Each structure stands twice: as C-alpha cells, then as structure tokens.
Amino acid sequence: MSTEPLYLKPNVRIEGLVNQFVAWTHVYTPVSGAMNLANLLLPIMDSYVQRPDVHLAAVANPKMRGGFFINAEASRVDEVRDLRDRIVRDESAAIAFAAAVKNAEDLLRAQATGYDLSPLYAQLPPELRGYVELVYDLNHQPTLRFLEPLLYRSAVHRREREAIELSLDDGSEPPFILSTPRLARDGHLQLPLPLDHTGIDELFALRSTPQPLEQVAKALEITGAEQEATLRALLTTESTLAPDRHIDSGGRIRYFGHACLLLQSPSTSILVDPFISSNPAAGDRFTYVDLPDRIDYCLITHAHQDHVVLETLLQLRHKIGTVVVPRNGGGQRQDPSIRHYLERVGMTVREVDDLDELPFDGGTIVSAPFFGEHCDLDIRAKSSYWVNIAGRSVFVGADTSGLESHLYTRIREAVGPTDVAFIGMECDGAPLTWLYSALFTQPVPRKMALTRKLSGSNAAQATGILKQLGAREAYVYAMGQEDWLQHVMATSYTPESYQLLQVAEFLDTCRRDGVHAEHLLVRKEMRW
C-alpha cells in the first residue's frame, strides 16, 4: 500500500449498528432494546419474510411514510430470513428477558394490590431475578424498577452484536432507521467493531490529520484486499476543512439544521443536539467541514432518535470534550439512561439535573426543565438549556412544550432574562404507540394513543414561552423538514399542515409584538 498521507472525504457517513439495525437509544439500551427486538423488530422481519411485496408497496406509498416496513427488494428475502434466524439464535437471552417482563407485569397486576410485595420476588421469572426491584408509587400502583447498570453487564446486552457501516453520502435517502436492517450493499463497508472502538476516532480525525492507508486499515482491523479498496474510496489527498470554522472575536451561532446549533466564542464551542448533513456537495448547508477543531461541550436535550444521533456523534467523538445529558429517573424502561448509553459507545459524559450550572471561560450552561413531548410518560431524561456565551443569553428549548407557561417564569426568575430563544413547534406529533408500543405489555387503546402525542409547542404555547422568558429574538427550529434527516424523521408537511400554520401564527404574533422571529430551515448564521 502507498504511504501517501490521506484525508477523509467530506461526505463519509457512519451508522452504528446492533444486529444490523441502527443502534438508536431504544435499540441499544438493555431493557428497551430487548423489548424492541422481541416486540417490534422480529415481528417486522417475520412480516417481511412472509410478504415482501406488502412492505415494498408500503415503502413506495408516501402516505405510509414512517411506517414500520422493511425497505429492501424482494430478492433479499433470504438475507432477512437469515438475519432473523441468527438473531433468534444469538439473542435468546434478550428475547426471554422481554417475555419475562410481560410475565412479571401480569403477576403484579394480579397480585400486587397495595400490600407487601416481598412474597412476589420468589414468583418472578428467573430472567429478572436480581435485575429488578418491585415497588409501589404513593398511589399504591406497582411497577418494576430495572437495575440498568447490571443489565449492561448481562447476557441481555451483548457487545458482539455491534458493528459500524461506512459509506459515501451521494444525496440519496437511506432506509428508515426504525424499521430497516442494514444489509450488505456495494460501496458500503460493514465492520464488526464495537461502537467504542478507537479506530473510529482515528478514521474521523483524518479530516484534519492525514495518515497513510495502511495505518487507517490497521486502526479499523481491515486486512482483506476488497475491504481495503472500499476503504480507499472513502479517502482523498485533499483537505476540505472550512477556513472560517473558528472565530476570533464576539460570538456566533450557526444553525446546522433540525435541532442542531453551534454556539461559539473565541475560547469555547458548544454543540447542541448534533445531527449534521454529510453532503457538502448540496451547497446549501453547513456540514462536518464547518465545525471547529474542538467542541468543548455537546448538549443533548433528550433521548429521541433525532436528538441522540449516533451517525453524527461517532464522527465527532474524537473532538468532543464533554457530552452533557439530562439524568434519567432511574429504572423505568421508557426512560433509559442517556449517560450509560453514550459512555458505552465511547463518549465522555456528564449528567445534569434541573438548574445545574456548568461554568466555562466567559459564560455558563444551565440545564432547565423540559415539559411535554413524551406522550405523558414518566420520562425524566429531558432538558432544555440556558447558555450565556459572549455576553448573550440563549434559551435552547428543543421540543419542550409551553403547556405550563409559568415554568418559564420560574426559569427566568432562576437564571435571568433571555436574549434569544430557540423553540421547537412540531405541535402535532406522532401518537404514543409510534415510538413506545414495544415497551407496553398490554394493548394500548387507539383512542388513548391518539390523545397522547410526541408534540412540542403550538403558537399560543410558543408565545407564552417567549413572553415569560422575556426574549426579544425567537427562532422556530427542530421541525424535521430538512431532506437529509428523513431516514430518521420521516416527516411530511404540506403548506396546509397544522404545524406550519401554527408556525405562521406564531411569527405573526411576534411581528405584532415587535419581536424578531424566523422559521429556520437548512442553514443560518448569527453574529454579534
């Protein structure tokens, strides 16, 4: 092999995989991962194997966008069947664990009536013994509390199932991550590496520091000529970093699309909910080449698949100082620990509670409460952030809902007024069962699911947030409209969509109130 130093091409993509499915939070974490595998992914594969034509027809129908269908040609049915059989064989502990959760909840429904729970431990399925505590809430409702750190060290969570897939972004849309396994494809390099493998960092450090092909191949444990050739196609002799990726005075906010913001001063860089396009050829967006050489803090607002995005985090891991995440409630399967998840994929993580402060050179980060957008489930791992940087205060709301406007009065009393507010207005989100159905052990009535949605603020709620914070500048973001994130979001708006009509109403209200407001899409830069 040549000793010529090589850089990474700017349009390289990576996906972290578990059993060839994208390793987002509910697939990777032990309890939700076992239940999604048993109650969602295996049934999807069974359905595809039986009727691949139904899946292909659904994928081709725009009205079925975001449905749980496998996007693979009928000719690949044998590959999906083999994957399904392999998973059933190798993941027997996880599948049995998911069944045991249902049996244990049946036990609690039948016998936990407000009296002593201790006799029920002996009746628990063996797969749960030592991994759960039986508890009541103050209304005497029983539940299982899972010991998540122990389960990461059990047979339920096998590191051998992990892999990465590398490819070039040609502008086409990848298959939907919640339903389609990553099957072998020409030009895609699938490597059986754990997600915390140091070779991943060495690969993405090539954007700024070139290395010979031989060294890169060694770092990724590649030995075969075919894989080496595929790897070489990901590399180039030219550096592509943007010369204006740093600033030397004042402050700057760059909008990278969806909920991703980069806040910069000359000494500090803070990235929020990173989900970054890897297609600089599009020419209309910021991409990885526009990021600074170091990111001091990466703030994560919550655990949904469009806010904890491994395809971005794995690319940036080598340059991130600390990932800041909200602390979960501890033990509820709908509320897995983001810290445990990201630590196991190699990140340095700090957990925060409401109103925890992280000072940095010339400013501070304050975690703030986050209401709504989780279908009224008891989920604590969610946080908005208030950031004071380069003399300006910025509220980063993500999908938090203004359903209780007094909350933002309290936030203002605690941290002070806000100059700029970023507010998500996906105000008619998917129903409860779209994201959480696999975690339930009893059917959820459709009418109930439709009343409990993954919704952020509507116009009135966003206006309330703005007024209570005292902000004079507002930006609507996190709407899922950018084309490069549809394999994660699967959103589909028209000009008549309720969400966009609510955005327009909010912007009109801001104009009448003398507040500068914009609806962000694709790219934006603010300097002061």
Give the integer Cα–Cα distance in Å for 385 and 395.
Answer: 6
In this structure, are residues 48 and 57 in contact, taking their beta carbons and an 8 Å threshold?
no
- Using one digit for the tens of pLDDT, what is the confidence trace for 473-508? 999 999 999 999 999 999 989 999 999 999 999 999
- Using one digit for the tens of pLDDT, what is the confidence trace for 153-164? 999 999 999 999
Give the integer Cα–Cα distance in Å for 201 and 69.
Answer: 33
Residue 2 above 80 pLDDT?
A: no
Report how far apart, in Å, the C-alpha atoms of 442 and of each of 132, 214, 389, 438, 445 are: 19, 54, 48, 10, 9
Token readout for 259 is 């909920």
Kindly report the pTM of this predicted structure: 0.96
What's the pLDDT score for residue 1?
Answer: 58
What's the pLDDT score for residue 405?
Answer: 86
In this structure, are residues 476 and 507 in contact, taking their beta carbons and an 8 Å threshold?
yes
What's the pLDDT score for residue 492?
Answer: 87
Residue 512 neighbours by CB distance under 10 Å: 8
- Using one digit for the tens of pLDDT, what is the confidence trace for 306-317? 999 999 999 999
Residue 350 above 90 pLDDT?
A: yes
What's the pLDDT score for residue 3?
Answer: 86
For the chain, give every domain's residue range: 7-91+158-236, 92-151, 252-527
What's the pLDDT score for residue 110?
Answer: 97
Token readout for 309 is 């995005």
Give the integer Cα–Cα distance in Å for 111 and 44.
Answer: 33
- Using one digit for the tens of pLDDT, what is the confidence trace for 93-115? 999 999 999 999 999 999 999 99
Q: What is the mean pLDDT of residues 175-192?
A: 97
The distance between the two most distant Cα atoms of the chain, rounded to a whole number of Å, is 73
- Residue range 252-527 forms a domain whose CATH class is alpha beta
